[in-house]
């Protein structure tokens, strides 16, 4: 057994060596003992993800309770595009346009821009709140603001009141996007970390499908009467149940993150919560796991000379700058390659493209995305595929799909027919599937895993903020860009896909050269690889020693 322990005191090293008996550590120095045990635990080879999953069902239930918050994010991201296909909504919040009603492009931009702006504010507040008050309190705060926002949606009677609801819900989803990946990354076993992080995107897809199906059902039932507000208000009533489900689930099982408790010096409570979370795991070793957490935190402090208090500026210093890039860039590639065109504005996009059944097409693409999300559970922890394989291949398909969407519009000269509609639905579905397995799942896994333990909440916040800022720009300009000349506007319509194709090529290059693979690595191993400045493409093949590349005490 090798002892991975950084000590300048030679006598201390000898004492550790002399007291190692096989896998058992015997020493009177408690701190040295914990560090040796923690090093051994951190350097262990990961076990089969499926075996770990079956061993500890309590962790699965805990993660599902926390990730259920993401359903409301999916609802809110999909709802605007879905409601734009319901005449009653257009009449109440829009203006008369010929024989129908439409929401002015400037109003759509104001809604999207302020939603995204307060989402960014919420992400910063969430990062600070989860660091200062704890992850658990922050998660309950999300539910409170979600209730307020959805109730404002229900009572809205003009576009300004609807704007108020978007501001509140944007703030709530911002907090949620900051705290949920942080909590999941800290609680999940390393063998299942990426799978459990991918639940966020799956829950978003479920929320999106829910919003689309309910909107389609109410439009079918009540849409023939343009004055029947039930066509769009019933989906809002149903949405009020979502935060209630999350609240009840969290009240039953949610506990504070052991990582956060340990960083606050509350070692006894951290051990108690670890015991609670992993109590069903057959080979659970409370002492070894606790030592691994302490070892990881101490090694980070030694290598980075971090103070007890950290700031966002620390995320841009030294090795942490690279880690911040790895947290920010993968998820923003989703927006840079056209997610808002084929995701948020799916129904609206099909409508301006000339589709006669925009909501039906949206249901098809959403179901495809959900199926792709399920497939990632079997691939993201596979060492032959992993996070990077999903991210890179997903970006390639997204980029090609955007080119195809634009070409369909050029070849069809903006005249919708059955063949063009089938091809459009096909490539949008391909894009949604690739977006899900790539930036949607793998990208958000990078956001949750890239930060060092002391900066994890702040790094995750920067990842979500970066994505929200890019999303803000895209959602602000897309209503104008989609308003094509054939629809009486001055935009590009579906030919906007050409712009996203060019951006997609740039994203593929960036991911290839600068984003590493994390599959199978413990946080201590990732710390070492980053500290040693291992090139991105060599992360997967480089062996770690526990001594950050220096000689190991044998």
Q: How confident is the model over 22-49, as pLDDT tens digits? A: 444 444 456 555 555 555 555 566 566 7
- Domain chopping of the chain, boundaries: 49-254, 314-537
CA quadruple 383, 385, 387, 388: dihedral sign: positive
All residues at 6 or more sequence positions from 292 whose CB lies less than 8 Å from its CB, including other chains: 37, 38, 41, 42, 522, 524
Mean pLDDT, range 375-395, rounded to an integer: 90
* 379, 395, 518, 519 from 386: Cα distances, Å: 6, 15, 8, 6
Q: Band the pLDDT of 282: cuts 50, 70, 90.
A: low
49-254 placed in CATH 1.10.420.10: no
C-beta atoms surrounding 224 within 10 Å: 10
* pLDDT, tens only, 192-213: 888 888 888 788 878 888 887 8
Q: Which of these, 123, 136, 130, 112, lies nearest to 177 by C-alpha position?
A: 123
DSSP symbols for 503-554: HHHHHHHHHHHH----TT--HHHHHHHHHTT--GGGTTTPPP-SSTTSPPB-
Higher pLDDT, 534 or 464: 534
The two tokens of residue 473 are 């720009």
The full length of the chain comes to 554
Residues 373, 201: contact at Cβ < 8 Å? yes
Q: Does the pLDDT value for residue 184 go beyond 70?
A: yes
- Tell me the β-bridge partners of 101: 96
Higher pLDDT, 9 or 149: 149
Res 345: pLDDT: 58
Q: Does the pLDDT value for residue 13 go beyond 50?
A: no
Higher pLDDT, 492 or 387: 387
* 45, 233, 350, 352, 407 from 419: Cα distances, Å: 52, 34, 14, 16, 14
Model pTM score? 0.68
* pLDDT, tens only, 147-172: 999 889 888 888 899 999 989 998 99
Residues 187, 256: contact at Cβ < 8 Å? no
Q: Does the pLDDT value for residue 4 go beyond 50?
A: no
Q: Say if 49-254 and 314-537 have the same CATH topology.
A: yes
Torsion of CA 381, 384, 388, 394, to 10 degrees: -100
Q: Does the pLDDT value for residue 517 go beyond 70?
A: yes
Mean pLDDT, range 109-138, rounded to an integer: 87
Mean pLDDT, range 544-552, rounded to an integer: 64
Residues 425, 365: contact at Cβ < 8 Å? yes
Res 1: pLDDT: 34
Residues 521, 437: contact at Cβ < 8 Å? no
- Rounded to 5 degrees, φ, ψ at 21 are -120, 95
Q: Does the pLDDT value for residue 267 go beyond 90?
A: no
Mean pLDDT, range 18-22, rounded to an integer: 43
Q: What percent of the chain has pLDDT over 70?
A: 78
Q: Band the pLDDT of 479: cuts 50, 70, 90.
A: low
Res 186: pLDDT: 85
Least confident stretch, 238-252, 271-285, 287-301, 426-440: 287-301
Which overall architecture, per CATH, does domain 314-537 show? Up-down Bundle (1.20)
**Which residue in the block uniquely carries the two structure tokens 């201590």?**
524
Q: Mean pLDDT of all residues in the chain?
A: 79
Mean pLDDT, range 456-474, rounded to an integer: 82
Residues 301, 436: contact at Cβ < 8 Å? no
Q: Does the pLDDT value for residue 57 go beyond 90?
A: no
**Which residue in the block uniquely carries the two structure tokens 């060019």?**
502
């Amino acid at each position: 057994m090798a002892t991975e322990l950084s000590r300048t005191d030679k006598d201390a090293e000898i004492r550790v060596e002399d007291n190692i008996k096989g896998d058992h550590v015997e020493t009177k120095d408690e701190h040295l003992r914990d560090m040796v045990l923690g090093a051994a635990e951190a350097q262990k080879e990961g076990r089969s993800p499926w075996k770990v999953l079956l061993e500890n069902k309590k962790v699965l239930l805990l993660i599902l309770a926390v990730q259920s918050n993401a359903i409301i994010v999916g609802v809110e991201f999909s709802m605007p595009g879905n409601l734009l296909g319901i005449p009653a909504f257009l009449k109440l919040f829009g203006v008369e346009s010929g024989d129908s009603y439409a929401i002015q492009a400037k109003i759509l931009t104001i809604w999207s821009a302020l939603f995204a702006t307060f989402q960014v504010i919420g992400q910063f507040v969430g990062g600070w709140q989860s660091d200062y008050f704890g992850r658990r309190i922050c998660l309950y705060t999300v539910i409170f603001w979600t209730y307020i926002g959805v109730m404002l949606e229900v009572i809205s009677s003009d576009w300004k009141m609807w704007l108020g609801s978007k501001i509140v819900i944007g703030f709530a989803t911002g907090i949620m996007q900051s705290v949920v990946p942080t909590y999941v990354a800290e609680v999940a076993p390393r063998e299942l970390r990426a799978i459990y992080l991918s639940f966020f995107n799956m829950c978003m897809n479920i929320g999106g499908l829910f919003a689309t199906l309910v909107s389609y059902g109410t439009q079918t039932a009540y849409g023939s009467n343009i004055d029947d507000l039930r066509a769009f208000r019933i989906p809002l009533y149903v949405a009020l149940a979502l935060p209630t489900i999350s609240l009840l689930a969290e009240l039953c099982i949610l506990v504070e993150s052991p990582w956060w408790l340990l960083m606050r010096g509350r070692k006894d409570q951290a051990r108690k919560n670890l015991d609670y979370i992993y109590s069903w795991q057959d080979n659970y070793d409370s002492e070894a796991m606790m030592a691994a957490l302490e070892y990881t935190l101490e090694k980070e402090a030694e290598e980075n000379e971090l103070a007890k208090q950290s700031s966002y500026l620390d995320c841009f210093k030294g090795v942490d700058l690279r880690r911040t890039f790895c947290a920010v860039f993968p998820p923003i590639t989703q927006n840079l390659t056209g997610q808002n065109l084929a995701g948020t504005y799916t129904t609206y996009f099909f409508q301006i493209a000339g589709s006669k059944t925009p909501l039906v097409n949206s249901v098809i693409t959403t179901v495809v995305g959900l199926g792709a999300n399920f497939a990632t559970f079997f691939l993201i922890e596979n060492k032959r595929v992993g996070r990077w394989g999903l991210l890179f291949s997903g970006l390639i398909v997204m980029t090609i799909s955007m080119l195809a969407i634009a070409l369909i519009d050029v070849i069809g000269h903006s005249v919708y027919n059955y063949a063009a509609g089938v091809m459009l639905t096909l490539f949008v579905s391909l894009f949604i599937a690739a977006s899900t397995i790539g930036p949607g799942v793998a990208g958000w896994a990078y956001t949750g895993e890239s930060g060092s333990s002391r900066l994890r909440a702040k790094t995750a916040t920067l990842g979500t903020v970066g994505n929200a800022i890019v999303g803000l720009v895209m959602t602000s300009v897309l209503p104008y860009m989609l308003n094509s000349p054939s629809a009486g506007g001055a935009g590009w319509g579906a030919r906007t896909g050409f712009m996203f194709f060019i951006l997609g090529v740039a994203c593929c290059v960036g991911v290839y050269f600068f984003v590493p693979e994390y599959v199978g690595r413990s946080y201590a191993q990732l710390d070492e690889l980053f500290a040693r400045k291992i090139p991105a493409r060599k992360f997967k093949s480089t062996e770690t020693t526990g001594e950050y590349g220096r000689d190991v005490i044998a």
